[in-house]
Amino acid sequence: MKMIVRARLIVTMNGPPIKNGAVAIEGNRIDDSPPGSSPSRAARLRRAAPVGSVVDVGLFNEVKARNSGEVIDVGEQALLPGLINAHCHLDYTCLRGKIPPPKSFADWIRAINAEKAKLSKQDYLVSINEGFAEAKRFGTTTIGNLTAFPELVAKIYEPIRTWWFAELIDVREPNRAKDIVDLSVESLKSKEIWGLAPHALFTASANLYRQCEKIARRENIFLATHLAESREEMSMFREASGPLYEFMSGNGSPMDDCGAAILQQRDARPWIIAHLNELAESDFDLLERSRRKFHVVHSPRSHKYFAHSPFPFERLRALGCNVCLGTDSLASNEDLSLFAEMRAFQKNEPRTSPEEILSMVTVNPARALRREDALGKIRPGFCADLIAIPCARSTNALEETIAFDRPVDWTVLDGKIG
């Protein structure tokens, strides 16, 4: 049984938006042969509309008249591919509003550790489930989620497509790197898609990074980490000083990695890197020389909360980085809306086109998650993940899309409405 959905505008992310169009869905995929259409008419429509199933509204009316499939008119709305959040920690959904913007990153780490000490495993389960529901409410249909509790994953039903990353820290037990990695592999390997995320250079040992890379080669999984997030992190590695250095050296962390160039030796796998907020010229030189291009996730609102240095978007893009947007966690953000993330980005980068900004929550993260042929576009053969949002103006429709600031009330996920 096919379903055909008509809308005032189809934002395909595979060419210019189509006014007054319709999308055919067969099962869980976007289809290329609309229901009820004769082969010759379907062929003619495909020629007229190279995106295939995204066709003119005449076909929709024809299908409606023949009553030969489920037909839905979402009215004066724009259909978009479901959004993709490339970096998030749903563990901390329950920490929304608990930590005011800190004076330093080290202060924030102290504050989040104090909050975490009050939470039980059950609290984390509730927090993760609430986070999933909120992400979906804001139009996210795919999420890259880091969890510090991979052992809880088996107890969670994910309502959206989920790339689980085990977030790993061995700062207080560097000799256990292999055990820590093996335990999380055990918890996650039954999942279809998963990865490992050594937390950051100041909390994960060089050995832990190496163990993760070894597993990634063996299992063909994803790798993610936090890098160059704060000024303190940079001064720790470059000058062996600053609040983060003080904090870490007071916590039993071996400091012998200090002074290492932060991007060295992380070249072998396509890492998904959160942040890159605070880079030195030598880091840009390294990026330029690096053969492999990184996927970079920027979280504009969390970035503002911490008052980091301006995100070097244009330089990273020019160096071939695939820049995506993510919400990070609610311990440094107010909600899980990628629309709000796009608006915050646009405020900082007003010269970037709305289409490019939308790419950062659709096409670009699909590439980072190695699903560029299945997610992030409305295109025949792609997963039927769609959202509809109001679209009142016919001009500047993409601008209007980014301005949307309410929950999304119509979603198709894997071909199912809900």
Interface residue list for Zn ion (CB under 5 A)? 274, 328
Handedness of CA 71, 72, 78, 83 (dihedral sign): negative
Is the CB of 225 or the CB of 322 nearer to Zn ion? 225
Is the CB of 211 or the CB of 277 nearer to Zn ion? 277
CB of 369 to Zn ion, least distance (A): 16
- CA 211 to chain centroid, in Å, comes to 24
Residue whose Cβ sits closest to Zn ion: 328
Look-up of token digits 């911490």: 306
CB of 226 to Zn ion, least distance (A): 5
Is the CB of 54 or the CB of 86 nearer to Zn ion? 86
CB of 89 to Zn ion, least distance (A): 6
Q: What is the four-CA torsion angle of 207, 210, 214, 216, rounded to 10 degrees?
A: 120
**How far, in Å, CA of 294 to CA of 298, rounded?**
12
Is the CB of 41 or the CB of 110 nearer to Zn ion? 110
Q: What 3-state class would DSSP assign to 29?
A: strand
CB of 145 to Zn ion, least distance (A): 10
CB of 276 to Zn ion, least distance (A): 12
Is the CB of 232 or the CB of 328 nearer to Zn ion? 328
Q: What 3-state class would DSSP assign to 360?
A: coil
**How far, in Å, CA of 418 to CA of 397, rounded?**
24
Which residues, 6+ apart, have CB-to-CB distance to 116 below 8 Å? Answer: none
DSSP letter for each residue of 230-251 = SHHHHHHHHTS-SHHHHHHHTT
Is the CB of 30 or the CB of 297 nearer to Zn ion? 297
CB of 383 to Zn ion, least distance (A): 26
Which residues, 6+ apart, have CB-to-CB distance to 395 below 8 Å? Answer: none
